[in-house]
Chains A and B, each alone.
Chain A
Amino acid sequence: MLVLDLALKSLRNRAFSTSLTVGSIALSFALLIGVENVRVGMRESFSNTISQTDLIVGTKGGTIQLLLYSVFGMGAPTENVSWEAYREWAEHPAVEWTIPYSLGDSHRGFRVVGTNEDFYRHYRYRGGQEIALAEGRPNADLFDVTLGADVAAELNYALGDEVSVTHGLGELGFITHDHMPFTVVGILDKTFTPVDRAIYVTLEGMEAIHWEDGAPPASDDEHDHAHDEEAEAAHDEDDHAHDEDDDDGHDEDDHAHDDEAEAAPADDGHAHDQEVEAAAADDGHAHAEDISIEDVEISQVTSFFVGTTDRRDVLQLQRDINDFEDEPMMAVLPGVALNEMWQGLGYAETGLRLVAIFVVLVGLLGMLVSLYTSLNERRREMAILRAVGAGPNRILALLVLESVCLAGAGALAGLALVYGLLAAGQSIVEAQVGLFIPIRPPGPIELLLLGAVVTAGFLMGFVPAFKAYRTALHDGLAVRV
């Protein structure tokens, strides 16, 4: 107790150097804990992107690829799954629910996702949270769209705004489907998952996007392979428009259509609508706005999520889907796939952690230097302590204890700093980078790191302590400088 009292008073006496040392350890430890928190936050937000989904099913291909395009909205599927095959699995007795997705289009850089009401009913993220609407209603009609929170915020869209959709995935896709009068009917709550960065339409709406001339095709055969023939079809359409168009007033519009890739969508869209109207009337096609959702036939989906009635059936179901003979299909366990993907990113984690550990070591080395250099001016103090009966062991203990106190105080201050920063900056980080870092009481990792730093402080304390020990033994009561 005496030695602890001495250590604390001695540290307090050197308040300036003590606070500098504690401060540097605190900062370095805060970095370590901060990295750990960010890592956990990243991992959690990553593996909680979806939850309660038992299987993700798509066409045969890479596991990670399937995960990327169906969960993270990255990359493109190579093939789709036919509607018939999807329905077959959706009605499988082991399957409780499915969420079908039709992907491949974008609007001003955001994904357009075709899905149905099952998405609102069954999609879960971050431990079972449901998709909720910030405003409006879920998209249900053919030309309804619901926006992810980020889409609405970044593109500054409000309910009732009209949206044009691009086929393809670029900022400006190959063909702008301006003639589709999509209207924003709902905006989703922020989820901090890729859901925020997507635009939701009905599966039927997604099909409609792929009608080349803004109206349902006369014959279905032509459009089963809409994707493959898109480019050609577009050319046809242009030619067609030229032929039909006798009115001078529409010349400009035609030009605009030719240069679609650069054209501003809004104005063009309106003009195109008129053109389409004319074309449709001449061709005997139905007008886009006259089509009801019931008239649209869905030909395919890109992938679908599956929830099973009984989780014990998952593996069997996965095998069955993988062995499906009618179409090449693949089912993956999202947990396993996410884990696999995270492993691939793991080296970045390790790198971050290593850097943080080295920074803490530097902080502790700073402490060691500070203690060591203070020893010379403390020789008198050591001699006095020796004279009043302190053994060299007590001198050793005093310095080790000072070191432990510095490391401990630094670590605790660092921990406090992290919580302070988290409390102050959590929402900012969330808003800026979409990373939700949970604030929770110090867990085993924090305690482990705290223990490690204090232990390191303890061990490092022996360096100045041994020096003091030797000095104390050698100097005795004299102070030789």
Chain B
Amino acid sequence: MTLAIDVRGLRFRYGRGPWVLDIGELSLERGARAFLFGPSGSGKTTLLGVLAGVLEATEGEVRVLGEDLASLSGAQRDAFRAEHIGYVFQMFNLIPYLSVLDNIALPARMSAGRRARLDGAGVKETAALLADHLHIGDLLKKPVTELSVGQQQRVAACRALIGSPEIIVADEPTSSLDFDRREAFLRLLFQECERAGSTLVFVSHDRTLEGMFSRTISLPDVNKAVL
């Protein structure tokens, strides 16, 4: 079984700017629940961009699910991301002009590969099932602007989870939630990642959640670009 993530000698900078990432080695086994820790400005979001194939590594090798991202074209990386990675942002996760259901269904409509992973069930049914699992089944028809922050994050989680991608990347998804809700949200996220067999990369600057994860990666320790 290949590693979920395998990074060697990665260096990245925006244009001709200073180095933002300089990571000698970083790997993550499949099925892990990793806590990627780092303060603001330690390059967390940039690293996620590289792992998701949105940003191209300036130097080095980045393998995701065994695939060397550098060998893929931009369009192929987009397709790869659509099929294999679910992404949850810190906040404002949802497309404002789509309903809850349409937001959840978006990746499945975007990618045929992701659609193929629905195990024959329809997009709507799968979305509704996921929404039920995250206790937002009654919100499907609502416009997203009427949701609370916590509800929005759950919708975002459903969207990341639909079609069971191998990797779920969550970029500080709980930072706008209060502590109790954070834990509840995380438990639901774990439960669904397990059900889908997904590897979870959870990014936060808040170490209080660290104990719930199987593995912790401290970015300042790994990333030599940050002083």
Contact = CB atoms under 8 A, between A and B. Distances in A.
Contacts of A385: 95
B45 interface: yes
A13 B87 contact: no
B97 A9 contact: yes
Q: Which of A384, A388, A474 has the most CB of B within 10 A?
A: A388
Contacts of A386: 54, 78
Interface stretch (B103-111, B173-181, B188-196, B216-224): B103-111
B110 A10 contact: no
Chain B residues touching A, majority SS:
helix
Contact of B87 (A10, A388, A478): A388
Interface string A391-410: 11100000000000000000
A388 B106 contact: yes
B89 A391 contact: no
A441 interface: no
B38 to A, nearest CB: 14
B97 A12 contact: yes
Contacts of B87: 387-388, 477
A117 interface: no
A390 B110 contact: yes
A477 B75 contact: no
Kindly name the residue among A14, A383, A393 whose own CB sees the greatest number of chain B CB atoms within 10 A: A383
A344 interface: no
B89 A384 contact: yes
A155 interface: no
Contacts of B23: none
A53 B29 CA distance: 94
Given A389-B83, A389-B110, A391-B74, A477 B49 contact: yes
A58 to B, nearest CB: 71
Interface residues of A, number: 24
Contacts of A476: 45-46, 49, 54-55
A387 B92 CA distance: 13
Contacts of A13: 96-97
A476 B54 CA distance: 5
A118 B75 CA distance: 79
Given A387-B87, A388-B106, A393-B75, A477 B96 contact: no
A2 B105 CA distance: 11
Contacts of A477: 45, 48-49, 52, 54, 87, 89, 171
A2 B54 contact: no
A229 interface: no
A83 to B, nearest CB: 82
Contacts of B82: 388-390
**Which of B52, B95, B107 is most buried by chain A, counting CB atoms within 10 A of its CB?**
B95
Contact of A389 (B49, B81, B102): B81
Interface in A250-278: none
A1 to B, nearest CB: 9
B159 interface: yes
25 contacts: A6-B97, A6-B98, A9-B97, A9-B98, A9-B102, A12-B97, A381-B96, A384-B95, A386-B54, A387-B52, A387-B81, A388-B82, A388-B87, A388-B106, A388-B159, A389-B82, A391-B74, A391-B75, A391-B79, A392-B74, A392-B78, A477-B49, A477-B87, A477-B89, A478-B45
Interface of A: 2, 6, 9-10, 12-14, 380-381, 383-393, 474, 476-478
Closest 6 CB pairs between A and B?
A: A389-B82, A13-B97, A391-B78, A476-B49, A387-B87, A476-B54
Given A388-B110, A391-B78, A477-B45, 20 more contacts: A9-B97, A9-B98, A12-B97, A14-B97, A381-B95, A384-B94, A387-B54, A387-B87, A388-B87, A388-B159, A389-B79, A389-B83, A389-B110, A390-B82, A390-B110, A393-B75, A474-B14, A476-B46, A476-B55, A477-B49
